[in-house]
A and B are shown apart, each in its own frame.
Chain A
């Protein structure tokens, strides 16, 4: 049954229209005056933003913005854009009354009087937090797949080269022995080499396994006092420290949010390197300080306090232009010392697993300084 609109009292229509807006629950629809003061409130606004009509009326719409967005004048910029171009749209984090945030899709539209002066604004906000979370998850999944592909690529390379090399050598030595099987001197030369190649193969396979296990582990993050970790690691190296007459100084270290076995491996590799790549008496220092710049917040959305931990030695060092290579699996910076070239690749992966990072600065014959960024323990676990 249709009624001719003209039959309906205009006043009644306006009443119903206002009622409709008031009752809409999925959209916050707000009327602002030209300075951004809230004039009108609906159910959706209360549901999304958490303020009652009484609390909201007369306030500036800036209260919906996070402190950092207020500091960069985001609300003012949006309202100015709406005033000049008629409309401003924006997606971003907004703040509820209780301080929690939601991902808002906002459209601010300017209202004009008959002389085209701006008299106020309508502001329509939708809560798209769930969509945002899903999108972020998708992005993280894509990144994770890309990372796994990279790791597979690394493994393809490793099997194509590093794992074949000791076997090829063993075969070659056997060939050389067979050519002149009665030559005892040949045997004495080549048999130890065969044994060395086999040992190298075993070391490589162990390291490849260690490396691949790291990406499979779903271990619990705990509050890990790095002081304890360092104490254990240094005890393990007691003998080598005595042999090399090394000194290791450790200043007080933070409690980080981490996986103990991985952190032991991380520091063990770094200290082992610092002891190994040195032709004199190693002097190693480990220091930590909280990170104050904004860099740490780019590493983790939950903005944990990050710590910068420096491991400095006076060893042989290397040319800084090879710093990136140092962290790639099976890339070794020297053949003058034994090793499989996987230690620092493991360190990098462990740092990644902890939503941290590792970097290095080195000067040949002066020494090397590794910098770890790790999240402090904040009473909750990072997923």
Chain B
């Protein structure tokens, strides 16, 4: 089984640690690259030969916000087909609508329930039919 390549863009160190634990819970082999800012994340995505399978994107980040990152990602030709999953504390309707408009694939609200998050990631990786808002 090919490992799943994930890029996580999140400025919060704790949340980057949590995400690795959530991925462990999926039981599938994976590679996780974590970027601590939007600028770092976009830097990693520039080259066409390092396209991840999934991009997980925090919204509330200093300087370059998640929404701005999403906008720029969707403008990059080699990334247009890559699923971008918003991964945020927010469940604010405006954030959900804005990111849907900007071309996000799913909106996953960060939760304290690590097992549920692992299950949702599994469903995403298995290509299940899922609603836009996941939690």
Contacts and interface: CB of A to CB of B under 8 A. Distances in A.
A169 B16 CA distance: 12
Given A169-B14, A175-B114, A319 B63 contact: yes
Interface string B68-92: 0000000000000000000011111
Contacts of A157: 90, 92, 94
Interface stretch (B27-35, B42-50, B105-113, B123-131): B105-113
A171 B90 CA distance: 16
Interface string A151-176: 00000110011101100110110111
B100 to A, nearest CB: 16
The dominant DSSP class at the B interface is: loop
Nearest to A325: B63
Contacts of A132: none
A175 B88 CA distance: 19
B88 A161 contact: yes
Interface in A187-209: 193
A268 B130 CA distance: 50
Nearest to B39: A319
Contact of B112 (A168, A179, A325): A168
Contacts of B111: 168
B11 interface: yes
Nearest to A168: B112
Contact of A175 (B90, B91, B113): B113
A252 B15 CA distance: 48
B5 interface: no
Interface stretch (A46-54, A121-129, A255-263, A331-339): A331-339
Range for the number of chain B residues in contact with chain A: 20 to 34
Identify which of A161, A179, A332 gathers the most chain B CB atoms within 10 Å of its CB. A161
Contacts of B91: 160
A322 interface: yes
B62 interface: yes
Contact of B90 (A160, A176, A333, A335): A160
Contact of A333 (B59, B63, B95): B63
A291 B35 CA distance: 46
A179 B11 CA distance: 26
A185 to B, nearest CB: 14
A334 B61 CA distance: 9
B62 A165 contact: no
Contacts of B92: 156-157, 160-161
Given A160-B91, A161-B92, A176-B21, A168 B110 contact: yes
A172 B63 contact: no
A168 B89 contact: yes
28 contacts: A157-B94, A160-B89, A160-B91, A160-B92, A161-B59, A161-B60, A161-B88, A161-B90, A161-B92, A162-B60, A164-B89, A165-B89, A168-B89, A168-B110, A168-B111, A169-B112, A171-B112, A172-B14, A172-B112, A175-B114, A179-B114, A318-B63, A322-B63, A333-B63, A334-B63, A335-B11, A335-B36, A335-B62
Interface of A: 156-157, 160-162, 164-165, 168-169, 171-172, 174-176, 179, 193, 318-319, 322, 325, 330-335
Top-3 shortest CB links A-B: A171-B112, A160-B92, A172-B112
Interface of B: 11-12, 14-15, 18, 21, 36, 59-60, 62-63, 88-92, 94-95, 110-114
